[in-house]
């Protein structure tokens, strides 16, 4: 208790270190707990789901599974669109629209609302955003997605959306499933809940759902039960009897039957024959033409006539229309429909094998699949076929044919030929003709037998488990804040060491006396350690309490001023006893190890050294050459790092510069130490105060070094983090920048089905006359929904969104830059790597490098696994990482790969626009106006990047502030070193006074010495940082900016000055003459 | 040169108890004169010396130094007088270990903060070092010298600015007999050669007898012995 002041100081150091460590660990727990809480808020009691995506099952399935498995279930019709508040005309794109029944609300804490057909319940986030209240009217514009993919051939695109005008009947909070979403993301979704029945009716999907929710987590049981209860209609299949002779036709509500289903059904021992019917533009001879006819590719078993690749059978009607005879040739002209409904007309020549009579089985209108817009058309002129129909070509006889025979095919080719000409990713059959003596019901059962929901990518998944895992394995804030707080912890440790060292130094006589009285070294050491434990234990306890407070401050900051880093303000504090224990134990270890080491070192000095006040602290042992060698080695290594980086590309090797900077600090410090220990001095005779100060600085060089290194590293880190803040420097218009040279990034709630770079596409959307459109280039992407893998999502991401990109377009433009690529990627044309053939179901992909490293926790060469629409696992291999770009959050694959594996994703919902820089404002305006009903969300590419940069910049700001605080605390170490030096030099200072140095002069001398220390440390750090940020400095557009950096450096310097000034003043006020007295 | 008039010095401890170290001491030191002050340990000899040199202030009384009242002078002024007119030698040489011999003796030359040492001062240092038989050791450090050599260097340091008075507090206290005698003789030589007045506090009666006047301090009071 006698030395309570010293012990209090040591307690402070230990308390600080423990507080920061514990606080950082608690932040990690708090964020993880918050994310898990959000999962519970999102899912309520939902454990598993059946995501239908583009598939729909009957709502009966949910009821049957619920009864069989005795678990609560609900069916949902899940869609997307936009919401409009008609009073204010405010729009909310990216709204999820859920058709629900009363069963849905039972997954929440309390059942909520039974929706009528004209009512809607909105989530709290929607109500807040649009300032809605109960009873307000809103309009929902909903994507018109049904059984048939919009991408499928001959599907009408006339209506891509429909609208519903609804009254707000409720605002659902978290307790009432208001936060429901399938995505692992802490951000609040915007949701509108409507009556399932009303929505289904609007979408012409009555009795269907594309999402099942279950309270059970037993997915095996759920999947088995699903397989048992699914009907043919749930597979999208329709079985009809053709006649009463045992002939049936199996078709699909999706027009095309999935190949996997065909494969399974063909494994049955049934007489089934495949048919592929297609709409051709014309059937022509040299001088005649029959427009818009159906032609069927038929299984050879459907006819006795052997059909070769170019053989064709025609019906009587066609033969008469075109004056055809056996052996004549004709041409079929037809459209092949590519992505964004790009139509390419192709043709194929055939030779007429035979003219078939109308009495054959082939002459049947049921061979035409139920193309919507065709099947129910009253006349040819009513056709909505999804392709341009020249009504002038349709003759009266064509209308007559339609009236009488409907879509009965006029010609037949081999199935093989049909598959070659009209191959679609949705399936290569439009029908199966089955011959059996089984009744319809039995046949249905037989056909169902080999089918499995997995054949069409339908299976239950444990969503809750997956979400909890994503929350648990997300960004580790504990580790993050530990690393961000590194300097504070280091400073606290340093303070503890210095204070203990100072404490022991002042009590050196006591230690020597104990030794002289017969206490062994171990006994004295034990006494010192026990004293320290008595200080450390309360320090750690207080540190834990302070750490809890620190955590509250951090969580508050994350929810407010640093909310850019976490994109939510709903983080909660959560404290685990284990974490407190860990923090406390770490604090004890952190305190006692250095204390033990310092105590041991001090006590090892001899009695004589401790009693006689010999200035043994002057290190004149001779300068070991090893130090010089090390210094030179560090310097050379730094040079070699930089040389290598320059030779291989500075942008790709910027990390080497950081390493070089750190090595330079090492070189400077070791050089200082070597120089300080030299017995010869640099000038022959000291002749000035300045030189005296420099000579004095070399005393206790090791002690000074500790403080200088901390100052250097702290300054280095502060400069680096400030320089690496991502800002725009006028390069964003360049193709190689993160914007790719595009002006706008657009996201749409509803798909754009057409290519806006074509005249037809522009006309379809009425954009052809807009100002500047002729020089505007649109880059449209297919989008597969998934988790947001950008830095805006704190959860670990398993399945990021995927964009299908035009690799050739991006290659020609040389857009974007790459941080890293695998060796297989050609450096000159990196984008073409997306077109590489890596094997069956293996797809090369790019993503932002930061997403790969931090979002996916992967590296180049790693893979992600998705299930495609055919139910097959596809492997997506990461072959390249982009520099920070607008694509952040997405995986990029070649568009043809996208279409192959996810064919039903129709149109583009993400788009980039390259416009004339002088017309950007106008183009932005008409895009907003003309695409408003598509739920357009339009941002400049700069804004988008700035949004991502805000996360990085926030983390850098936090690091800069915490690091700066650590360095400021480190300057206290400077003060402690100074006090210790003053104590040891009391006699020297008294002598200076005796020989006529005024207090002022003495003050100046000592101040100068320590100022050199401060400046040396900080300047070393700045030089090292200049090397570290060399790549940025060499960039013509680099702009350091301020962002508080200058303030922080100023505060560090000021704190250093204060901690030099104050101890000096205090010391010089005291009587120091006693050290000169002989008595 | 120095006149002490009714000097008293007392210390008050934390408990408020007063201890009188010097009681009404009067003393005059004339130019070129040598005085020895003897007395038991703790009698106030060093305190008296410090007051004479302006290192300490009396509780009562006046210290006139070359006609100026040292006791009421400001710190800066008194430091300037100490630098230019007084030379101190202590029992422990107090050479700075980080400076070599030459640098140590030149130290008083930079007392005015930032001023450079003149060439003339360096020459004087060389001459003085030769006088005390330390020529050739200018570049050596205190750790490389004997106690006697260090003390002789301290003497040179005290004389570098040509002071009027030299105040020595047990200058031979840490030396062996031979070195002590050597130093004592040097002090006399310095007095004779450089006409420097001296006040020497010492236990060594042999040294004290060599001075012009010997005082004894007993119970804080000064008594003339010789």
Nearest C-alpha of chain B: how many angstroms from A620?
8
What the block records as the tokens of A21 is 């460590």
Residues 6+ apart with CB under 8 A from B82: A993, A994, A995, A996, B53, B54, B55, B88
- SS3 state of residue B223: strand
- Would you say residue A104 has pLDDT above 90? yes
The answer to whether A1079 contacts B41, with C-beta atoms less than 8 Å apart, is: yes
DSSP A851: I
Residue A410 near chain B (CB below 8 Å): no
In whole angstroms, what separates CA A112 from the centre of its chain?
A: 34
Strand intervals (E) in A338-471: 343-356, 411-414, 431-435
Check pLDDT > 60 for residue A906. Answer: yes
Enumerate residues 6+ apart whose C-beta is below 8 A from B173.
Answer: A1078, B91, B202, B203
pLDDT of residue A155: 78
Residues in chain B: 226
Q: Which residues of B touch A687 (CB under 8 A)?
A: 106, 110, 116-117, 122
Residue A614: which pLDDT band, with cuts at 50, 70 and 90?
A: very low
The confidence band for A612, taking pLDDT boundaries of 50, 70 and 90, is very low
- Kindly state the tokens that stand for B125: 């240092």
- List C-alpha distances in Å: A413 to A9, A344, A358: 94, 21, 16
Top residue of A691, A693, A998, A1074 to mutate, by most chain B CBs within 10 Å, is A998
Looking at residue A790, what is its pLDDT?
79
Q: CB distance A1001–B79 less than 8 Å?
A: yes
The verdict on a CB contact (< 8 Å) between B45 and A1079 is yes
Q: Using CB atoms, which residue from B97, B112, B169 is nearest to A1078?
A: B169
Which residues on neighbouring strands pair with residue A967, listed in sequence order?
Answer: none
Tokens of A742: 């595009």
The interface pTM score, or ipTM, of the predicted complex is 0.81
Tokens 């790719």 locate to A740
Encoding tokens for residue A687? 């002749």
Residue A560 pLDDT > 60, yes or no? Answer: yes
Which two three-digit tokens encode residue B189?
Answer: 């030589």
| Helix or strand run (H / E) with residue A894 | strand A890-894
Mean pLDDT of A648-670: 82
The minimum CA-CA distance between A1065 and chain B, rounded to whole Å, is 15
* Bridge partner list, A304: none
The residues with which A75 forms a beta bridge, in sequence order, are A212
pLDDT, residue A608, reads: 46
Q: What pLDDT, in 10s, does the model give residues A576-594?
A: 999 999 999 988 888 888 8
pLDDT for A1072: 58
**Is A613 a residue whose pLDDT tops 60?**
no
Tokens 């025609």 map to which residue? A314
Average pLDDT, chain A: 85
Chain B closest CA to A618's CA: distance in Å? 7
Q: Is the pLDDT of residue A620 over 50?
A: no
Q: Which of A694, A1070, A1079 is the mutation pick for testing B, counting most B CBs within 10 A?
A: A1079
**pLDDT at position B134:** 92
Query: E-strand spans in A42-196?
Result: 48-51, 57-58, 73-85, 90-100, 119-123, 137-143, 161-172, 190-195
Tens of pLDDT, residues A316-360 = 999 999 999 999 999 999 998 877 777 889 999 999 999 988 877
Q: What is the Cα–Cα distance from A886 to A536, expressed in whole angstroms?
A: 51
* Yes or no, beta carbons of B75 and A998 under 8 Å apart: yes
Q: Does A704 touch chain B (CB under 8 A)?
A: no
Question: Among A365-379, A819-833, A938-952, A1063-1077, whose mean pLDDT is lowest?
Answer: A1063-1077
Q: Which of B55, B81, B173 sits opposite A1078 (nearest CB)?
A: B173
A1073 CB neighbour count, 10 Å cutoff:
17
Torsion of CA A1012, A598, B141, B90, to 10 degrees: 100
Q: What is the CA radius of gyration of chain B?
A: 17
Q: Is the predicted pLDDT of residue A369 greater than 90, yes or no?
A: no
Res B84 pLDDT > 70: yes
Of the candidates B42, B91, B113, the beta carbon closest to that of A1001 is on B113
The nearest alpha carbon in chain A to B85 belongs to A996
By the 10 Å C-beta count (0-12 exposed, 13-18 middle, 19+ buried), B2 is classed as buried
Q: Which helix (H) or strand (E) is B29 found in, with range?
A: strand B18-29
CB atoms A995 and B96 under 8 Å: no
CB A358 within 8 A of CB A396: no
Nearest to A996 among B45, B82, B90 (CB): B82
Greatest distance between any 2 Cα atoms in chain B: 54
> What are the φ and ψ backbone dihedral angles of B63, each rounded to 5 degrees?
-125, 110
Tokens of A1067: 């010391």
Confidence (pLDDT) at A8? 81
Q: Does A1001 touch chain B (CB under 8 A)?
A: yes
Q: How confident is the model at residue A306 (pLDDT cuts 50, 70, 90)?
A: confident
pLDDT(A623) > 90: no
Q: Where does the pLDDT of residue B114 fall: very low under 50, low under 70, confident under 90, or very high at 90 and above? A: very low
Residues of A within 8 A of B201 (CB-CB) are: 1078
Give the CA distances from residue A58 to residues A62, A65, A76, A233, in Å, rounded to whole numbers and listed in that order: 8, 12, 11, 8
Q: Which residues in chain A are contacts of B107 at CB distance < 8 A?
A: 692, 992, 995
The pLDDT value recorded for residue A1076 is 58
- State the DSSP string of A615-654: -TTS--S---HHHHHHHHHHHHHHHHHHHHHHHH-TTTTH
Interchain CB contact of A992 with B (< 8 Å): yes
Verify whether the Cβ–Cβ distance B98 to A695 is below 8 Å: yes
Residue B174 and residue B125: Cα distance in Å, rounded? 24
Mean pLDDT (whole number) for B12-41: 87
Residues of A in contact with B11 (CB under 8 A): none
Calpha distance A518→A524 (Å, rounded): 10
Structure token digits, residue B110: 């930079």
Tally C-beta pairs within 8 A across A and B. Answer: 122
Chain B hits for A692, CB-CB cut-off 8 Å, are: 99, 103, 107, 110
Cβ contacts (< 8 Å) between A1076 and chain B: which residues?
55, 90, 92, 94, 169
Q: Whole-angstrom Cα distance, residue A913 to residue A924?
A: 9
- Each residue's pLDDT tens digit, A724-733: 665 554 556 7
Which secondary-structure segment (H or E) carries A952? helix A941-984
Band (B112; pLDDT cuts 50, 70, 90)? low
CA distance B192 to chain A (A): 22
Contact status of A30 with chain B (Cβ, < 8 Å): no
Comparing CB atoms, the residue among B46, B84, B107 nearest residue A1078 is B46
Distance CA A850, CA A945 (A): 13
How many whole angstroms separate alpha carbon B201 and alpha carbon B219? 16
Determine contact, residues A470/A856, Cβ cutoff 8 Å.
no
| Chain A CB contacts of B142 below 8 Å | none
User: Which of B45, B80, B103 lies at the smallest CB-CB distance from A686?
Assistant: B103
Taking CB atoms and an 8 Å cutoff, what residues of chain A touch B110? Answer: 687-689, 692
Does A557 reach chain B within 8 Å, measured CB to CB? no
What is the Cα–Cα distance from A836 to A831, expressed in whole angstroms? 10
Contacts of A880 (CB under 8 A, 6+ apart): A818, A820, A821, A822, A825, A830, A833, A846, A860
Phi-psi region of A364 (alpha: psi -120 to 50; beta: other; left: phi over 0): beta
Rounded CA gap, A611 and A719, in Å?
Answer: 46
Q: Could you tell me if A351 and A120 are in contact, meaning their C-beta atoms sit under 8 angstroms apart?
A: no
The percentage of residues in chain B with a pLDDT greater than 70, rounded to a whole number, is: 97
A178: pLDDT strictly greater than 80: yes
């Amino acid at each position: 208790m006698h030395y309570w002041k010293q012990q209090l100081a040591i307690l402070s150091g230990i308390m600080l270190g423990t507080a920061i460590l514990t606080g950082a660990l608690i932040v990690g727990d708090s964020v993880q707990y918050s994310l898990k809480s959000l999962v519970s808020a999102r899912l309520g009691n939902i454990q598993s789901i059946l995501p239908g995506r583009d598939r729909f099952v009957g709502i009966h399935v949910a009821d049957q599974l619920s009864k069989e498995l005795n678990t609560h279930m609900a069916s949902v019709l899940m869609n997307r669109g936009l919401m409009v508040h008609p009073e204010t005309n405010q729009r909310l794109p990216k709204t999820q629209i859920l058709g629900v029944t009363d069963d849905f609300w039972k997954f929440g804490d309390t059942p909520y609302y039974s929706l009528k057909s004209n009512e809607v319940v909105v989530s709290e986030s929607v109500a807040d955003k649009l300032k809605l209240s109960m009873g307000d009217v809103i309009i929902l514009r909903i994507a018109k997605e049904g059984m048939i993919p919009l991408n499928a051939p001959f599907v009408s695109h006339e209506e891509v959306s429909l609208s519903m005008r609804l009254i707000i009947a409720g605002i659902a909070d978290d307790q009432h499933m208001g936060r429901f979403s399938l995505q692992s993301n802490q951000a609040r979704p915007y949701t509108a809940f409507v009556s399932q029945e009303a929505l289904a009716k609007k979408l012409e999907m009555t009795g269907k759902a594309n999402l099942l929710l279950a309270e059970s987590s037993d997915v095996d049981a759920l999947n088995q039960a699903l397989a048992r209860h699914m009907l043919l209609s749930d597979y999208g299949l329709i079985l009809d009897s053709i006649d009463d002779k045992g002939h049936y036709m199996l078709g699909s509500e999706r027009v095309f039957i999935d190949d996997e289903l065909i494969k399974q059904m063909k494994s049955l021992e049934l007489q089934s024959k495949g048919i592929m019917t297609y709409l051709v533009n014309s059937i022509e001879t040299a001088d005649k033409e029959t427009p818009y006819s159906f032609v069927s590719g038929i299984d050879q078993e459907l006819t006795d006539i052997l059909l070769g690749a170019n053989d064709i059978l025609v019906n009587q009607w066609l033969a008469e229309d075109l004056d055809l005879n056996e052996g004549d040739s004709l041409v079929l002209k037809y459209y092949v429909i590519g992505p964004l409904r790009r139509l390419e007309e192709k043709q194929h020549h055939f030779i007429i094998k035979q003219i078939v009579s109308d009495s054959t089985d082939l002459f049947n209108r049921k061979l035409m699949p139920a193309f919507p817009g065709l099947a129910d058309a009253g006349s040819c002129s009513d056709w909505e076929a999804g392709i341009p129909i020249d009504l002038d070509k349709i003759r009266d006889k064509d209308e007559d044919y339609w009236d009488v025979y409907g879509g009965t095919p006029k010609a037949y080719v081999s199935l093989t030929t049909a598959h070659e000409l009209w191959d679609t990713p949705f399936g290569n059959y439009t029908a199966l003709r089955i011959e059996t003596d089984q009744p319809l019901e039995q046949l249905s059962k037989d056909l169902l037998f080999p089918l499995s929901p997995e054949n069409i990518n339908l299976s239950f998944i444990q969503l809750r488990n997956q979400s909890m895992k994503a929350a648990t394995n997300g960004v580790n804030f504990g580790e993050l804040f530990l690393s961000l707080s590194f300097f504070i912890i280091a400073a606290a440790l340093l303070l503890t060491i210095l204070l203990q060292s100072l404490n022991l130094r002042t009590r050196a006589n006591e230690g020597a006396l104990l030794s002289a009285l017969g206490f062994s070294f171990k006994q004295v050491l034990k006494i010192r350690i026990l004293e320290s434990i008595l200080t450390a234990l309360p320090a750690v306890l207080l540190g834990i309490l302070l750490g809890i407070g620190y955590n509250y401050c951090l969580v508050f900051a994350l929810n407010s001023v640093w909310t850019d880093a976490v994109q939510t303000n709903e983080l909660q504090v959560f404290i685990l006893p284990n974490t407190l224990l860990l923090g406390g134990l770490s604090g004890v270890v952190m305190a006692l190890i250095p204390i033990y080491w310092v105590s041991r070192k001090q006590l090892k000095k001899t009695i004589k050294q401790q009693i006689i006040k010999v200035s043994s602290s002057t290190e004149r042992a001779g300068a070991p050459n090893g130090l010089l060698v090390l210094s030179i080695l560090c310097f050379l290594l730094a040079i070699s790092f930089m040389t290598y980086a320059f030779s291989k590309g500075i942008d790709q090797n910027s990390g080497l510069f950081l390493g070089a900077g750190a090595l330079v600090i090492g070189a400077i410090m070791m050089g200082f130490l070597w120089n300080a220990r030299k017995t010869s001095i640099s000038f022959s005779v000291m002749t000035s105060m300045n030189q005296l100060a420099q000579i004095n600085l070399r005393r206790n060089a090791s002690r000074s070094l500790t403080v200088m290194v901390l100052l250097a590293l702290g300054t280095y880190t502060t400069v680096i983090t400030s320089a690496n803040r991502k800002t725009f420097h006028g390069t964003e218009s360049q193709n190689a920048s993160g914007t790719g040279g595009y002006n706008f990034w657009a996201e749409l709630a509803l798909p754009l089905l057409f290519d806006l770079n074509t005249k037809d596409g522009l006309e379809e959307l009425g954009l052809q006359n807009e100002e500047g459109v002729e020089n505007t280039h649109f880059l449209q992407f297919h989008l597969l929904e998934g988790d947001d893998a950008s830095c805006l999502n704190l959860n670990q991401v398993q399945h990021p969104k995927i964009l299908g990109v035009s690799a050739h377009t991006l290659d020609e433009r040389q857009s974007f830059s790459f941080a890293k690529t695998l060796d297989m990627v050609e450096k000159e044309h990196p984008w073409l790597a997306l077109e590489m053939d890596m094997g069956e179901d293996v797809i090369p992909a790019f993503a932002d490098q930061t997403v790969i490293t931090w979002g996916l926790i992967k590296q180049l060469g790693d893979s992600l696994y998705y299930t495609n629409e055919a139910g097959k696992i596809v492997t997506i291999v990461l072959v390249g990482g982009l520099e920070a770009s607008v694509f952040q959050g997405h995986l990029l694959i070649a568009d043809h790969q996208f279409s192959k594996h996810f064919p039903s994703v129709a149109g583009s919902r993400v788009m980039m626009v390259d416009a004339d820089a002088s017309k950007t404002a106008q183009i932005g305006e008409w895009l907003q106006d003309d695409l408003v009903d598509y739920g357009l969300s339009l941002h400049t590419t700069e804004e988008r990047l700035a949004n991502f940069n805000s996360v990085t910049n926030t983390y850098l700001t936090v690091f800069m502030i915490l690091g700066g605080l650590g360095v400021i605390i480190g300057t206290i170490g400077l003060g402690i070193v100074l006090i210790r030096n003053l104590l040891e030099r009391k006699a020297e200072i008294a002598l200076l006074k005796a020989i006529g140095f005024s207090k002022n002069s003495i003050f100046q001398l000592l101040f100068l010495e320590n100022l050199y220390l401060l400046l040396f440390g900080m300047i070393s750090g700045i030089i090292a940082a200049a090397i570290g940020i060399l790549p940025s400095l060499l960039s013509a557009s680099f702009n350091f900016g301020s962002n508080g950096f200058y303030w922080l450096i100023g505060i560090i310097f000021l704190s250093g000055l204060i901690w030099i000034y104050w101890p000096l003043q205090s010391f010089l006020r005291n009587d120091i003459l006693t050290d000169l007295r002989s008595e | 040169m120095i006149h002490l008039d009714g000097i008293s010095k007392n210390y008050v401890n934390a408990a408020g108890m007063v201890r009188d170290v010097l009681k009404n001491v009067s003393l005059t030191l004339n130019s070129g004169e040598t005085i020895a002050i003897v007395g038991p340990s703790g009698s106030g000899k060093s305190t008296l010396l410090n007051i004479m040199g302006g290192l300490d202030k009396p509780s009562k009384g006046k210290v006139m130094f070359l006609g100026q009242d040292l006791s009421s002078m400001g710190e800066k002024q008194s430091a300037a007088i100490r630098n230019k007119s007084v030379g101190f030698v202590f029992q422990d040489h107090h050479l700075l270990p980080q400076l070599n011999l030459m640098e140590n003796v030149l130290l008083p030359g930079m007392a005015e903060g930032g001023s450079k040492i003149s060439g003339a001062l360096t020459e004087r240092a060389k001459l003085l070092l030769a006088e005390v038989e330390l020529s050739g050791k200018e570049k050596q450090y205190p750790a490389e010298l004997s106690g006697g050599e260090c003390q002789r260097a301290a003497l040179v340091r005290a004389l570098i600015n040509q002071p009027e008075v030299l105040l020595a507090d047990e200058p031979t206290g840490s030396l062996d007999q031979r070195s002590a005698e050597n130093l004592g003789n040097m002090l006399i030589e310095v007095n004779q050669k450089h006409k420097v007045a001296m006040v020497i506090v010492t236990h060594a009666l042999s040294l004290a007898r060599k001075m012009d006047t010997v005082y004894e301090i007993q119970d804080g009071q000064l008594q003339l012995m010789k």
